[in-house]
């Protein structure tokens, strides 16, 4: 069986939407429909944000407006991601089929690898960002090594990363269908 190599666009679409398996015409149609709905939600939320910001700018300090805009944009981003996850899950586009026990165990092994990768990403990337922020902070009197090896920060981010890795494993495991 010859596998056609997927284009980068298809790989990005599958990753963003969490779609598993071959990207056929049905999945393409559903992704287009979900994407159109997500755009309408996004457009509506940004329009409400624009109106609210315009009215708030008459009464509120500009620094506070900037903070409100940043928080509302993050909220809109997470609402859209939540909608995409729910829509894809309802259509079972994120399901992975295991044909026998060996295939099931192979899929579980892949899920474990992805969960471990998520753990490392969720630990390393925030630690790098907050390390840079700590270096740029004028009130921070710690040395570079004290910022890197900070037990409190490493424990807090480690617990969060373990939680994210474990959650990722449970989600991926629940998507595997025998």
Q: What is the pLDDT of residue 136?
A: 76
Global pTM value? 0.71
User: What three-state secondary structure class fits 78?
Assistant: helix
Cα–Cα distance measured from residue 4 to residue 162, given in angstroms and rounded to the nearest whole number: 36
Geometric angle at alpha carbon 87, from 3 and 41, rounded to 5°: 120
pLDDT (tens, 9 = 90+) of the chain, 178 residues, equals 456 788 899 989 988 888 888 889 999 999 999 999 999 999 999 999 999 888 888 888 878 888 888 889 999 999 999 999 999 999 988 888 888 889 899 989 999 999 999 999 989 888 888 778 777 776 767 676 776 777 787 888 889 999 999 998 998 898 888 7
End-to-end CA distance of the chain: 23
Q: Domain spans of the chain?
A: 1-94, 96-178
What phi and psi, each to the nearest 5 degrees, are found at residue 137? -75, 125
């Amino acid at each position: 069986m010859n596998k056609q190599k997927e284009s980068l666009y298809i790989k990005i679409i599958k990753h963003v939407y969490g779609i598993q398996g071959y990207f056929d015409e049905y999945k393409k149609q559903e992704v287009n429909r979900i994407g159109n709905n997500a755009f309408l939600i996004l457009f509506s939320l940004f329009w409400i944000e624009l109106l609210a910001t315009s009215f708030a700018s008459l009464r509120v300090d500009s620094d506070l407006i900037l903070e409100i805009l940043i928080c509302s944009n993050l909220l809109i981003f997470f609402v859209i991601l939540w909608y995409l996850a729910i829509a894809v899950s309802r259509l079972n586009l994120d399901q992975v089929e295991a044909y026998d026990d060996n295939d099931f165990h192979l899929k579980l092994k892949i899920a474990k690898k992805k969960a471990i990768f998520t753990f490392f990403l969720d630990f390393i990337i925030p630690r790098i960002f907050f390390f840079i922020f700590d270096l740029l902070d004028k009130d921070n009197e710690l040395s570079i090594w004290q910022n890197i090896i900070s037990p409190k920060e490493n424990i807090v981010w480690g617990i969060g990363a373990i939680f994210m890795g474990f959650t990722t494993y449970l989600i991926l495991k629940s998507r595997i269908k025998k």
